[in-house]
């Protein structure tokens, strides 16, 4: 009898493993990007059909009336963010992935507690893995002050089916009128200028206008799951009369011709993040400048990049070098280099510090800034968020930053890369075996 029960248990275990393995190792499915006329030659970033195409493709409306202020690294981000949070009069909402004990999280806690005591409605959703080192003794004082917090997909025995699906979103909204997104986390690694070891290089944006509503919608989506509470009133979106929508003294905020914020959710099939990357690559006609911390494109995205180069698009990729915090990602990414370099795509590895930025500039007009990495985790498993902007002035700012960053990077030479050691090739191959989880 025990043998029979053991066999039955083994069969059930194997059945679950058979069903679960494809889920754990799933990828996204898009291989080609075509227009209604079976190609994309008539559709580019200057075409009138683009806005409608993006609304259908990634469910994101591009609208006029927003502004974006480019904030680089901790030096350019945190002082600005602290200023806006201090000035909050009505509401603060936050969705965050990464958080660890230190100066940044201490400052954040002090400000949030102060605003909550002043009657500001403060809510914070943090990821259960990315912010897992923030213990209860960190949250207890701010909760006592009136800050409401919720853990997104805490790791528990009964939640193991969701443990691989995280929120990688960064969304801060103040008084319903000011928003922040980008690659930043609440960790001291983000302090500094991004040009020294231990000071991560990142790119963020401060937003005003209609796009802030989309950041707020992303918060409401996360709060509904994490706090088991659906917010249906407009209380969080009510800005205060004469509120703090001001720009920096240098008036660095750029009025965006058209812009939207896209929230992508982990999906069994095609995700919005995958469709955004594929569409951006396929519509490029002159230039494609990609800055990405964890550049591990799958074969389908590689095909699209190679096709872009074949139609004479100047494709350049800036990614991490040896200072990366995920060596497996570096080796898995390098496994893709040879084919890209052979196609004429230029690849640069950032040298001074860890590169954490995720930006794209296409044809000097189309810009993407947010949290999406060129890896399977971003495209298949994580919730991600990005600003999408169609504006040449803002694109020029990002392009200038790309040029400044590549001046501090090492360009990969194909002939030299082909002479890499057998050890390096083995590391690349081994890392590639795990790349669907990276």
Report all structural domains of the chain as residue ranges with CATH numbers, in order of start.
29-61+258-437 (3.30.870.10), 67-255 (3.30.870.10)
Q: What is the reported pTM?
A: 0.92
Q: What is the CA radius of gyration of the chain?
A: 22
Residue the block writes with tokens 């993006």: 54
Angle (deg, nearest 10), helices 327-334 and 422-433: 110
- Residue 275 parent element (H or E): helix 272-283
Greatest Cα pair distance in the chain: 80
- pLDDT tens-digit profile, the chain (438 residues): 667 556 655 665 555 444 455 555 667 777 777 765 667 777 778 777 778 888 888 889 999 999 999 999 999 999 999 999 999 999 999 999 999 999 999 999 999 999 999 999 999 999 999 999 999 999 999 999 999 999 999 988 767 767 789 999 999 999 999 999 999 999 999 999 999 888 999 999 999 999 999 999 999 999 999 999 999 977 787 664 334 455 454 468 999 999 999 999 988 889 999 999 999 999 999 999 999 999 999 999 999 999 999 999 999 999 999 999 999 999 999 999 999 999 999 999 999 999 999 999 999 999 999 999 999 999 999 999 999 999 999 999 999 999 999 999 999 999 999 999 999 999 999 999 888 777
Residues 348 and 409 sit within 8 Å (Cβ to Cβ) = yes
- The pLDDT assigned to 243 comes to 40
- The pLDDT assigned to 29 comes to 78
Q: What would the two tokens of residue 11 be?
A: 């069969």
- The pLDDT assigned to 249 comes to 47
What whole-number distance in Å separates Cα of residue 52 and Cα of residue 50?
Answer: 6
Q: What would the two tokens of residue 29 be?
A: 């499915």
- SS3 percent helix, strand, coil of the chain, rounded to 5, is 40, 20, 40
Residues 120 and 153 sit within 8 Å (Cβ to Cβ) = no
User: Which 3 state secondary structure label does DSSP give 258?
Assistant: strand
Residues 428 and 334 sit within 8 Å (Cβ to Cβ) = yes
- The pLDDT assigned to 436 comes to 78
What whole-number distance in Å separates Cα of residue 358 and Cα of residue 146?
Answer: 34
What whole-number distance in Å separates Cα of residue 177 and Cα of residue 343?
Answer: 45
What whole-number distance in Å separates Cα of residue 82 and Cα of residue 105?
Answer: 11
Q: Is the dihedral of CA 187, 294, 307, 261 positive or negative?
A: negative
- The pLDDT assigned to 10 comes to 61
Please classify residue 419 by burial: count the beta carbons closer than 10 Å to its beta carbon, then call 0-12 exposed, 13-18 middle and 19+ buried. Answer: exposed
Q: What are the residues whose beta carbons fall under 8 Å from the beta carbon of 97, sequence distance 6 or more? A: 126, 127, 130, 131, 166, 167, 168, 169, 170, 185, 371
Task: Give the closest residue to 81 by CA, choosing from 216, 158, 182.
Answer: 182
Task: Give the closest residue to 380 by CA, choosing from 277, 249, 254.
Answer: 277
């Amino acid at each position: 009898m025990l043998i029979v029960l053991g066999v039955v248990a083994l069969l059930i275990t194997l059945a679950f493993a058979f069903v679960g393995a494809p889920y754990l190792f799933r990828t996204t499915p898009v291989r080609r990007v075509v227009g209604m006329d079976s190609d994309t030659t008539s559709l580019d970033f200057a075409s009138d059909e683009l806005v409608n195409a993006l609304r259908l493709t990634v469910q994101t409306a591009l609208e006029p009336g927003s502004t974006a202020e480019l904030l680089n690294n901790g030096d350019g981000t945190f002082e600005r963010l602290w200023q806006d949070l201090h000035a909050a009069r009505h509401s603060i909402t936050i969705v965050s992935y990464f958080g660890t004990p230190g100066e940044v999280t201490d400052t954040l806690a002090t400000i949030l507690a102060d605003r909550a005591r002043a009657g500001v409605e403060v809510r914070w959703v943090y990821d259960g893995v990315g912010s897992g080192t923030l213990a209860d003794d960190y949250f207890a004082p701010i909760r006592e002050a009136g800050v409401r917090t919720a853990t997104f997909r805490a790791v528990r025995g009964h939640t193991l089916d969701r443990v691989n699906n995280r929120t990688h979103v960064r969304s801060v909204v103040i008084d319903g009128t000011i928003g922040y997104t980008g690659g930043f986390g609440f960790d001291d690694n983000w302090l500094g200028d991004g040009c020294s070891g231990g000071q991560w290089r990142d790119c963020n944006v401060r937003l005003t206008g209609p796009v802030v509503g989309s950041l707020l919608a992303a918060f409401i989506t996360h709060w509904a799951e994490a706090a088991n509470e659906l917010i249906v009133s407009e209380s969080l979106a009510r800005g205060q009369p004469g509120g703090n929508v001001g720009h920096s003294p240098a008036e660095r905020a750029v009025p965006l011709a058209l812009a939207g914020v896209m929230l992508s959710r982990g999906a069994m099939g095609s995700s919005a993040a995958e469709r955004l990357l594929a569409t951006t690559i396929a519509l490029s006609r002159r230039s494609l400048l990609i800055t990405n911390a964890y550049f591990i494109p799958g074969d389908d995205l590689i095909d699209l990049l190679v096709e872009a180069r074949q139609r004479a698009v100047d494709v350049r990729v800036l990614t991490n070098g040896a200072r990366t915090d995920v060596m497996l990602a570096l080796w898995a990414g390098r496994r893709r280099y040879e084919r890209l370099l052979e196609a004429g795509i230029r690849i640069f590895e950032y040298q001074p510090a860890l590169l954490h930025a995720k930006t794209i500039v296409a044809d000097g007009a189309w810009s993407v800034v947010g949290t999406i990495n060129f890896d399977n985790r971003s495209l298949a498993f994580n919730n991600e968020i990005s600003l999408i902007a169609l504006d040449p002035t803002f694109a020029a700012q990002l392009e200038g930053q790309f040029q400044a960053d590549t001046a501090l990077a090492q360009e990969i030479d194909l002939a030299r890369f082909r002479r890499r050691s057998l050890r390096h090739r083995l590391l690349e191959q081994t890392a590639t075996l795990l790349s669907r989880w990276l």
